[in-house]
Amino acid sequence: MRIAVPDLISNSYFPAIAAVELGFLKEEGIEAELELLFPVPRTMEALRDETLDFVAGSAHSTLMAFPNWNGAKLLMALGQRTYWLLVVRSDLKAKRGELSVLKGLRIGAAPGVDLSLKRLLIEAGIDQERDRVQIGPVPGVTGAGVSFGLAAAKALEKGEIDGFWANAMGAEIAVRNGIGTVVLDIRRGDGPPAAWYHTFPALLTTERKIAQDPESVAAVMRATRKAQRVLQADPSRATEAARRHFPPAEAELIAELIRRDLPYYNPLISEDVVAKMNSFAKNARLLSGTIPYEQVVAVKFRYLWTT
């Protein structure tokens, strides 16, 4: 079984990583291979092309390979709310929520992830062109094996960008090294309220996988839900789960980041959240019409969210 994430050395999709590395998938009788495939549009394309079985990624990004939600389904939330942070270089002395600091800056954001930041700025009254806010890829960050948050923090330190929109691992490294200041942490209430619902980390698969192998789909969901619960009971298990893939410094950081995320470890995908995410997707020109909840979420497996 091949499970991919678009950002590995990160807290973003960690329950899926823990499900593999703590042996919960093996307990379900599934031999799983965890892969890093960056950026997220490429991850979703690999799922569509059936070189992957499951993806743990940003929910809205599914639309980049499955137009109008045709051919794929969200199985469960790995966490709630938009989960990226906006960081700028520390010498700007930015205050929390002070988006005016972005004027004239170069902000690094991964493909697909950048759509949320661009929409957030519109919702906050920032005009990219008027205010000369440049949002684009981090220089030199290419290839399937990139963990974006780490790369963004390094680029900020080198002065190649003035800020970035990325995961909490990249933000934490930038803050601890004295090179970055967090301006927005959307998940925890910063920024326009609509931005909370742009996306969320999700486990997903194809409709074909659901039809052909529903038992394996259910098993992967059970293992991932168990990982959420185990981490909630003992966040220190995150260090154990990270050691095979994370550099030593980041492996030591991950348990604290997971501890902060635990209030959001709810697998529920509500109709309201899907409607608000789809509204964002329309504004981002990823979605062309009104899509029913049942076309987005694999409702036949909802019982596993509470079992």
pLDDT in tens, 15-34: 999 999 999 999 999 999 99
pLDDT band at 144 (very low <50, low <70, confident <90, very high): low
Q: Which two tokens stand for residue 130?
A: 């008027």
134, pLDDT greater than 70: yes
Q: Is 181 in the same domain as 40?
A: no
- How much is the average pLDDT of 146-158? 93
Beta strands 106-109 and 163-166 are parallel
pLDDT in tens, 205-239: 999 999 999 999 999 999 999 999 999 999 999 99
Q: Residue 196: exposed, middle, or buried by beta-carbon count in 10 A (0-12, 13-18, 19+)?
A: buried
pLDDT in the model for residue 219: 98
Q: Is 72 in the same domain as 147?
A: no
Q: Which two tokens stand for residue 238?
A: 């995150």
Distance (Å, rounded) from C-alpha 181 to C-alpha 90?
A: 5
The alpha carbons of the chain give a radius of gyration, in whole angstroms, of: 18
Q: Which two tokens stand for residue 249?
A: 């410094």
Cα separations (Å) of 98 from 92, 102, 187, 192, 199? 11, 8, 17, 12, 23
Give residue 212's domain range.
2-80+200-305
* DSSP code for 17: H
Summary mean pLDDT of the chain: 96
Contacts of 186 (CB under 8 A, 6+ apart): 81, 82, 83, 84, 85, 120, 195, 196, 198
pLDDT band at 141 (very low <50, low <70, confident <90, very high): confident
- What are the φ/ψ torsions at residue 143 (nearest 5 degrees)? 100, 155
Distance (Å, rounded) from C-alpha 178 to C-alpha 174?
A: 6
Q: Is 191 in the same domain as 208?
A: no
pLDDT band at 307 (very low <50, low <70, confident <90, very high): confident
pLDDT in the model for residue 145: 77
User: Smallest Cα–Cα separation from 10: which of 282, 257, 248?
Assistant: 257
Which of 195, 210, 230 lies at the terminal end of a domain, its last residue? 195
pLDDT in tens, 254-275: 999 999 999 999 999 999 999 9
pTM of the model: 0.96
pLDDT in the model for residue 139: 86
Beta strands 106-109 and 54-58 are unpaired
Beta strands 163-166 and 85-89 are antiparallel
Q: Is 293 in the same domain as 208?
A: yes
Which of 147, 174, 195 lies at the terminal end of a domain, its last residue? 195
pLDDT band at 49 (very low <50, low <70, confident <90, very high): very high
Q: Is 267 in the same domain as 121?
A: no
pLDDT in tens, 70-98: 999 999 999 999 999 999 999 999 999 99
* DSSP code for 285: T
Distance (Å, rounded) from C-alpha 128 to C-alpha 300?
A: 42
Distance (Å, rounded) from C-alpha 41 to C-alpha 111?
A: 7
> Is 146 within a domain?
yes
- How much is the average pLDDT of 39-60? 97
pLDDT in the model for residue 140: 77
Q: Is 70 in the same domain as 14?
A: yes
Q: Which two tokens stand for residue 265?
A: 């470890």
Q: Using a pLDDT cut of 70, give the percent of the chain over it.
A: 99
- Residue found under tokens 């002065």: 159
pLDDT in tens, 56-69: 999 999 999 999 99
pLDDT band at 304 (very low <50, low <70, confident <90, very high): very high
Q: How many domains does the chain have?
A: 2
